[in-house]
Structure 1
Amino acid sequence: MIVQRRAVTAVLAAAVLVLTAGCSSDDGGGAAGEDAGASPGRTAAQSSPSRPGAEETPPATGSVEVVRTVATGLESPWGLAPLPEGDLLVSSRDRATITRIDGENGEKTVLGEVPGVAPAGEGGLMGLALSPDHASDRMVYAYFTSASDNRIVRMLYDADEPAGEQLGAPDTVFRGIPKGVIHNGGRIAFGPDGMLYVGTGESGDTGLSQDRDSTGGKILRLTPDGEPAPGNPFPDSPVYSYGHRNVQGLAWDSRQRLFASEFGQNTWDELNAIKPGDNYGWPEAEGRSDDGAFHDPVEQWGTDVASPSGIAYAEGSVWMAGLRGARLWRVPLDGTEAAAEPQAFLTGEYGRLRTVVAAGEDRLWLVTSNSDGRGDPREGDDRILELRVR
């Protein structure tokens, strides 16, 4: 277990109100109005390194088909972890529960409530990930906001116990991530290397993003036990990249390159290709910058059409769920660059979209987010959808 080396001063409520004014970060209420088929202000892409044996560039245009509604009646769903046998685990941010969804009929079984979660504002029980050895150790990892910080725990999932009692006591593997009313990050995922990647936010204290001694406003890379992973860019540090505002999506492409989505403030939301040790600019830069010290995003969007949360990779593209934008974005990739203009799908059809997870070669699981206090819940909300994408 790693305790953050630097104590973070709590953000005063008044300062939070100032920072959230006009902020795209998971605020702004319900769906934006009109569809936007391309990102505003798109500029030429950065040069790409040579890519021997790279996959074929996907077509400029794609398609999305809603195959079925998997489950309905979910409250404040946030994280989603597919089980090997085809069922799904979903977290409730505000109820602090983890529920198993039958992948065939949508039947819901509450595994239990995670102790120590303190839901408030944008905090609560958020990201979920299965241990790389889940088949043998049955461990589930969760990222949540406690009374004092954001932290990562792991719990034994025992399906033989009665419903509501299937989660073992949480073992804290990493703590001390700054918490706030806003910008708590929350996405966790095990990478192709077996390490745990963590998207954090700066909790409303913008200076933390550039402070490499803080875990706020970062992507972290940890061992499954919560130690700084071998090969990290900064000695004895969990920090993998920095200069982030509020990372909420993590996904790898077919060549094991990491991408991340990030909330902007008033101007640009971002999709970034993550390079270890790089500085992504916040708060000095939002979106693309003329400053060569900062790594520019692969793509950027006006905040009214995005407010990105989860991302997934399928069919040569990154698929990005939009909260305020209430749409699913497709970004076809050529290496670590956008190969064509992004496309928007499902605009306004299902409201706010929180999480998207790959479900096979051309399938995605998509989680709506209309019952989190900022959406307009419809009959059946919130729901999980199965999509076919091209």
Structure 2
Amino acid sequence: MSRPAVLKAVGAVAALVFAAGCSSGGDAGSRGTSPPPGSPPPSSAGSPASSPPASPAGEGRVTVAGTLTEGLRSPWGLAALPGGDLLVSSRDDRTVTRVDVRSGAKTSLGEVPGVVPGGEGGLMGLAVRDGWVYAYLTAESDNRIVRMRYGGGAGDRLGAAEPVLTGIPKGTIHNGGRIAFGPDGMLYAGTGETGETGLAQDKESLGGKILRMTPEGKPAPGNPFADSVVYSYGHRNVQGITWDAQGRLWAAEFGQNTWDELNLVEPGKNYGWPEAEGRAGEARFVDPVAQWPTSEASPSGIAFARGAVWMAGLRGERLWRIPLSGAERSGEPEAFLAGEHGRLRTVLADGAGRLWLVTSETDGRGTPEAGDDRILRLDVR
């Protein structure tokens, strides 16, 4: 695929859109006036001015082992069934599809009712637990989490949707959308502030937060704020959550004009937005462990594998590796696959040294080519 040329063209268009003050989203930027891709960002106290150069895909740690499946439309969420097969959501088509990890064969499990796609909203994150498929979606009045029974056998379809958590603010932009079960058995969700920046600091609002709840949607035991599902606040738009080998929660966050972030998330902590973007060096906020110029990331899904967090970049069109040692970085982030497969939406670890990587060229912001969108197999060494 001729992605490097496409990347250059997309970057040029993006620069014009951002300069015009595009309001359509954190995915492509929604950054207000931002520098052209590749230009140095404004300085930020205590922050490096640039990221390291990209590394070739076959050199070192990542190899594209092949394409599992293709022809997906606006894929967003990805979750593994107990037997290893994958479920993928279509943000705009409102459907969930099962993908056989041996053959790549696709089976539609049906449409999720009540989804109202628009802007950055629609059918987004997926999670699987105890015979339920959980989905984060945009409805008529709000963003919400629902769950549906699914037996997992041949010919089975999704059951009726029942609400788990409602009342998450919705907007044309910054809807968050990633959900996952943590090592503690609780359900976590990343939300956005919908472009209303004040929601991020309002602990009574579910917007601009990371939420933690029981599988039934109740406040989880040990949450930092009484009778609340709010776990952390001061977030702009969280679309990536994962846990490392020690059970620590990590989250990827879209910045605005300057810095995208990878944060180590602790209960009750304030991550700064809208008063801080990137490292602020202020005691009242938690600084990110890593940050990138917005042209090099626009992070969506993240996963943990082989001692590192792997982060899929939309506008940056690359896969970042952030090596960890405990709660700290053990080295500089490295970039792989830059421009080779277009926008990258979701990355999922299979627990055996492999990553599944979902492209995002058919969501209205990419430049789709024949076969888009795809799920790629990546071997990690």
Q: Segments of 4+ in structure 1 off by > 6 A? A: 32-36
Q: State the match for 2:217 in structure 1.
A: 226
Alignment of 1:235-384 (within 5 A): 235-384=226-375
Other structure's SS at 1:304 match: helix
Other structure's SS at 2:295 match: helix
Distance in 1 (CA, whole Å) between partners of 2:270 and 2:19 is 25
Q: State the match for 2:122 in structure 1.
A: 124
Distance in 2 (CA, whole Å) between partners of 1:351 and 1:42 is 32
Match for residue 98 of structure 2 among 86, 97, 100: 100
Other structure's SS at 2:199 match: helix
| Alpha-carbon displacement from aligned partner over 1:23-52 (angstroms, at most 9, x marks no partner) | 8710259xx96699xxx979589xxxxxxx
Distance in 2 (CA, whole Å) between partners of 1:63 and 1:34 is 24
1:158 deviation in Å? 3.5
Match for residue 137 of structure 2 among 144, 160, 179: 144
Match for residue 203 of structure 1 among 176, 189, 194: 194
Q: Does 1:155 align with 2:148?
A: yes
8 Å CA contact 1:24, 1:265 repeated in 2: no
8 Å CA contact 1:268, 1:302 repeated in 2: yes
Residue type of the alignment partner of 2:76: W
Distance in 2 (CA, whole Å) between partners of 1:167 and 1:359 is 23
| Alpha-carbon displacement from aligned partner over 1:209-264 (angstroms, at most 9, x marks no partner) | 00000000000000000000000011111110000000000000000000000000
Q: State the match for 2:61 in structure 1.
A: 63
8 Å CA contact 1:24, 1:266 repeated in 2: no
Q: Percent of aligned positions with the same letter in both sequences? A: 65
**CA distance change for structure 1 residues 282 and 42 in 2, over 3 Å: closer, same or farther?**
closer
Q: State the match for 2:15 in structure 1.
A: none
Q: State the match for 2:13 in structure 1.
A: none
Distance in 2 (CA, whole Å) between partners of 1:256 and 1:193 is 9
Q: Does 1:80 align with 2:78?
A: yes
8 Å CA contact 2:318, 2:337 repeated in 1: yes
Q: State the match for 1:27 in structure 2.
A: 28
8 Å CA contact 1:368, 1:384 repeated in 2: yes
Other structure's SS at 2:200 match: helix
Q: State the match for 2:8 in structure 1.
A: none
Distance in 2 (CA, whole Å) between partners of 1:339 and 1:361 is 22
Give aligned pairs, total: 347
Residue type of the alignment partner of 2:91: R
| Alpha-carbon displacement from aligned partner over 1:73-128 (angstroms, at most 9, x marks no partner) | 00000000111212110000000000000111111100000000000000000000
Distance in 2 (CA, whole Å) between partners of 1:338 and 1:269 is 16
Distance in 2 (CA, whole Å) between partners of 1:101 and 1:359 is 14
Distance in 2 (CA, whole Å) between partners of 1:42 and 1:315 is 31
TM (norm. structure 2) is 0.87
**CA distance change for structure 1 residues 145 and 322 in 2, over 3 Å: closer, same or farther?**
same
Residue type of the alignment partner of 2:27: D
Other structure's SS at 2:231 match: strand
Distance in 2 (CA, whole Å) between partners of 1:150 and 1:19 is 28
Please list every run of 5 or more consecutive structure 2 residues that lacks an aligned counterpart in the other structure: 1-17, 31-35, 49-58
Q: Does 1:216 align with 2:214?
A: no
Other structure's SS at 1:100 match: strand
**CA distance change for structure 1 residues 223 and 329 in 2, over 3 Å: closer, same or farther?**
same
Distance in 2 (CA, whole Å) between partners of 1:141 and 1:208 is 25
Distance in 2 (CA, whole Å) between partners of 1:67 and 1:41 is 39
Q: State the match for 2:51 in structure 1.
A: none
Distance in 1 (CA, whole Å) between partners of 2:23 and 2:87 is 33
Distance in 1 (CA, whole Å) between partners of 2:372 and 2:220 is 39
Residue type of the alignment partner of 1:74: L
1:161 deviation in Å? 7.5
**CA distance change for structure 1 residues 22 and 287 in 2, over 3 Å: closer, same or farther?**
farther
8 Å CA contact 2:359, 2:374 repeated in 1: yes
| Alpha-carbon displacement from aligned partner over 1:319-354 (angstroms, at most 9, x marks no partner) | 000000000000001212211110000000000000
Please list every run of 5 or more consecutive structure 1 residues that lacks an aligned counterpart in the other structure: 1-16, 46-60
Distance in 2 (CA, whole Å) between partners of 1:99 and 1:171 is 19
**CA distance change for structure 1 residues 62 and 283 in 2, over 3 Å: closer, same or farther?**
farther
Other structure's SS at 1:69 match: strand
TM (norm. structure 1) is 0.85
1:63 deviation in Å? 1.6
Residue type of the alignment partner of 2:139: S
Residue type of the alignment partner of 1:139: W
Distance in 2 (CA, whole Å) between partners of 1:251 and 1:181 is 25
8 Å CA contact 2:123, 2:136 repeated in 1: yes
- After TM superposition, the structure 1 stretch with the greater mean CA deviation from structure 2, 330-339 or 139-148, is 330-339
Other structure's SS at 2:257 match: coil
Q: State the match for 1:12 in structure 2.
A: none
1:21 deviation in Å? 3.8
8 Å CA contact 2:23, 2:173 repeated in 1: no
**CA distance change for structure 1 residues 236 and 19 in 2, over 3 Å: closer, same or farther?**
farther
Alignment of 1:158-197 (within 5 A): 158-159=151-152, 162=155, 166-197=157-188
1:379 deviation in Å? 1.0
8 Å CA contact 2:189, 2:212 repeated in 1: yes
8 Å CA contact 1:42, 1:299 repeated in 2: no
